């Protein structure tokens, strides 16, 4: 999940709850205010009526003509004493204008005239007006809530995006970083302290990594070089020993085995050297090479070598696959893939070689798919460790392909299939 989405999500979660609570609270306050206002109005109205009543102005004892309703009735002193002087309540009242009962806010007040008679004045205002007010308030609240939510989110995202530009540039740099290749310097064009620190840290880590990578490469290459002479000495001594007279068959056999193992070691060492040479770009001359032709020539050789197992190659040629590549490396590439196919095939099977204009593929039968992510790594040998096998063949293939911008892929569809493409 991207950081910006994470922020937007958390922000909306918090805002959703926080603003809802605030909305409910605000709404409550507004409603209370409206009620208060209604009660004030009722009070003023009743004062006005009582004043007129007591001053002897002749007003009708009931008024039912408008929404504002009142009526006055005489009550006994007992009734008056048994009740509070002023009561507010919500109740249904009869509305003549509507000809039905309606919920209303009601104020009752008991008052006494100069003849010591008690009267009860009931003033009522129907609540539908208040309800309308509240509904429209609620709607405004909801609209405001949504607009606020969306705009806060939009502004936050925009501001973060704008300010995170140096960070995004850094991310882009990291994505494009390839160890051991020439990389652009880490972008640090920012005056924000944290981002500059981050860029500096990344730069120094990359530099350190680069140095270690070089050292490691250097080490492998040096170690292989240094091994050459002792290996030559060892191998030479064994050869001399083998030529010496008076050797029993058993001794000779042991020596030959030793010699062969030593040759495996020499081959391994040579392959490591070859790989570091390819990685260091020491194979310069390349020429247009028809890989299909090399495939054909070498498959013939392998057919001969593996004739006892009845393995043979079948060619499908749909075009010429011509690549600008060093001749020596072209045969390294082709031969390692071919050797791999022949070596891991059961007896009496067919190697299918498919050559077309922008690539070739080599496939051989096999029971189980291989782990496509690991087979190109050095020394990886899954269930197929055999004596004399270096475990470097496919790694070498990959190294060659990488250095000439070719791709090599592995698929399994009942057969192991290696495909090299431009």
Partner 1 sequence: MKILIVEDEASLQELMTKALRKEGYVVENAVDYDSAIEKLSVYTYDCVLLDIMLPGGSGLDILEHVRKLDKKLNVIIISAKDSIDDKVRGLELGADDYLAKPFHLSELVARMRSVARRSRNDGDFAYRLGNVALEPDSGRVTVDGKEVLLLKKEFDILAYLMQRPGHLVDKVVLAEAVWGDHVDQADNFQFVYAQMKNLRRKLEEAGADIEIKSIYGFGYKLV
Q: Is 312 near partner 1 (CB under 8 A)? A: no
Nearer to partner 1, 49 or 337 (CB): 337
Nearer to partner 1, 49 or 400 (CB): 400
Confirm or reject binding of residue 51 to partner 1 (CB under 8 A).
no
**Interaction between residue 383 and partner 1 (CB under 8 A):** no
Q: Where are the alpha helices (DSSP H) in 55-108?
A: 77-82
SS (H, E, C) 242-268: HHCCCCCHHHHHHHHHHHHHHHHHHHH
Given a contact cutoff of 8 angstroms between Cβ atoms, the answer to whether 341 and 362 are in contact is yes
Please, what is the minimum distance in Å from the beta carbon of residue 330 to partner 1?
14
Which CB sits closer to partner 1, 277 or 356?
277
The H or E element spanning position 189 is none
- Asked if residue 239 binds partner 1 (CB under 8 A), the reply is yes
235 belongs to the binding site for partner 1 (CB under 8 A): yes
How far CA 381 is from CA of 14, 35, 61, 333, 340, in Å, comes to 53, 84, 108, 19, 12
Stretch of 32-40, 180-188, 259-267, 287-295 lying at the interface with partner 1 (CB under 8 A):
259-267
**Binding of partner 1 by 233 (CB under 8 A):** yes
Using an 8 Å Cβ cutoff, are 156 and 11 in contact? yes
Hey, which bits of 113-161 come out as E strands?
118-126
Nearer Cβ to partner 1 (184/240) = 240
Tell me the CA end-to-end span of the chain in Å, nearest whole number.
34
The answer to whether residue 277 forms part of the interface with partner 1 (CB under 8 A) is yes
Contact 272, 392 (CB under 8 A): yes
CA atoms within 13 A on the CB side of 407: 5
DSSP SS3 for 193: helix
Task: Give the range of 93-101, 168-176, 235-243, 361-369 binding partner 1 by CB under 8 A.
Answer: 235-243
Give the range of 11-19, 85-93, 104-112, 269-277 binding partner 1 by CB under 8 A. 269-277
Chain residues binding partner 1 by CB under 8 A are 225-226, 228-233, 235-237, 239-240, 242-243, 249, 252-253, 256, 259-260, 263-264, 266-267, 270, 273, 277, 282-284, 298, 301-302, 304-309, 335-336, 338-339, 343, 386, 388-389
């Amino acid at each position: 999940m991207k950081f910006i989405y994470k922020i937007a999500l958390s922000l909306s979660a918090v805002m959703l709850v926080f603003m809802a609570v605030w909305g409910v609270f605000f709404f409550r306050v507004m409603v209370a205010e409206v009620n208060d206002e209604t009660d004030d109005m009722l009070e003023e109205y009743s004062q006005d009526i009582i004043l007129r009543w007591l001053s002897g102005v002749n007003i009708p004892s009931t008024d039912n003509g408008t929404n504002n309703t009142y009526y006055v009735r005489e009550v006994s002193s007992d009734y008056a004493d048994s009740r509070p002087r002023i009561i507010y309540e919500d109740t249904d009242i009869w509305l003549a204008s509507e000809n039905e009962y309606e919920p209303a806010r009601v104020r009752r007040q008991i008052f006494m005239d100069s003849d010591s008679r008690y009267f009860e004045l009931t003033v009522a205002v129907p609540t539908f007006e208040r309800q309308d007010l509240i509904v429209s308030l609620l709607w405004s609240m909801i609209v405001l809530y949504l607009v606020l939510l969306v705009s806060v989110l939009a502004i936050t995202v925009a501001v973060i995006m704008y300010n995170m530009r140096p960070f995004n540039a850094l991310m882009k740099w990291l994505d494009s970083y390839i160890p051991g290749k020439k990389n652009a310097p880490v972008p640090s064009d920012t005056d924000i302290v944290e981002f500059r620190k981050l860029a500096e840290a990344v730069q120094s880590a990359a530099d350190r990594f680069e140095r270690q990578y070089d050292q490691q490469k250097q080490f492998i290459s040096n170690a292989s070089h240094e091994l050459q002479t002792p290996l030559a000495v060892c191998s030479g001594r064994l050869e001399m020993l083998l030529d010496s007279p008076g050797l029993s068959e058993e001794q000779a056999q042991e020596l030959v085995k030793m010699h062969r193992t030593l040759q495996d070691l020499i081959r391994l060492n040579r392959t490591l050297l070859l790989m570091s040479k390819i990685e260091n770009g020491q194979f310069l001359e390349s020429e247009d090479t028809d890989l299909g032709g090399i495939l054909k020539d070498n498959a013939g050789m392998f057919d001969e070598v593996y004739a006892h197992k009845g393995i043979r190659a079948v060619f499908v040629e749909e075009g010429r696959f011509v690549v600008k590549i060093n001749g020596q490396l072209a045969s390294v590439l082709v031969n390692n893939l071919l050797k791999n196919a022949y070596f891991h095939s059961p007896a009496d099977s067919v190697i299918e070689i498919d050559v077309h204009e922008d690539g070739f593929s080599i496939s051989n039968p096999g029971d189980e798919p291989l782990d496509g992510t690991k087979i190109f790594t050095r020394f990886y040998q899954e269930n197929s460790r055999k004596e004399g096998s270096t475990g470097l063949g496919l790694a070498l293939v990959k190294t060659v392909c990488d250095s000439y911008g070719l791709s090599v892929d592995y698929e399994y569809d009942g057969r192991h299939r290696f495909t090299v493409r431009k």
